[in-house]
Amino acid sequence: MVLPRPIYEGLPVIYLLIAMVVSTLIQSGLAFFSAAILSFAAVLVVMMRVQYRRHREAELRGITLNARIEKRRRDTK
C-alpha cells in the first residue's frame, strides 16, 4: 500500500492530534495510556525519518556514516 506523500508526511501530526483529542475528551487511564503511545509513536516516526534522510543524503554525497564520525573525532581533537 502506497500513501500519497502529503498524507505520509503528515502522519506524525495526525498521531499527535488524535492523542490530544483522546486525552482531552475521554477521562480514563486507558485513554491516557493510548494517547501516550500515540505521542511516542509520532516522535519515534519523526526521529527515524530524520535519521534515514541524513543517512541517505550522506550516501548520495558519497560520505558514509563511519567517515562522518571519524571526521568529527578528528575535528574535535
At 74, the pLDDT band (50, 70, 90 cuts) reads: confident
What long-range pairs does 12-19 form, CB within 8 A, spacing at least 24?
12/41, 12/42, 12/43, 12/45, 12/46, 13/42, 15/39, 15/41, 15/42, 15/45, 16/42
Task: List % helix, strand, coil for the chain (3-state, nearest 5).
Answer: 85, 0, 15
Average pLDDT score over residue span 46-57:
89
Position 31 scores a pLDDT of: 93
**What does the domain layout of the chain look like in residue ranges?**
8-76
State the average pLDDT for the chain: 88
Position 18 scores a pLDDT of: 94
Residue of higher predicted confidence among 31 and 68: 31
Look up residue 19 and give its three cell numbers: 492523542
Position 65 scores a pLDDT of: 66
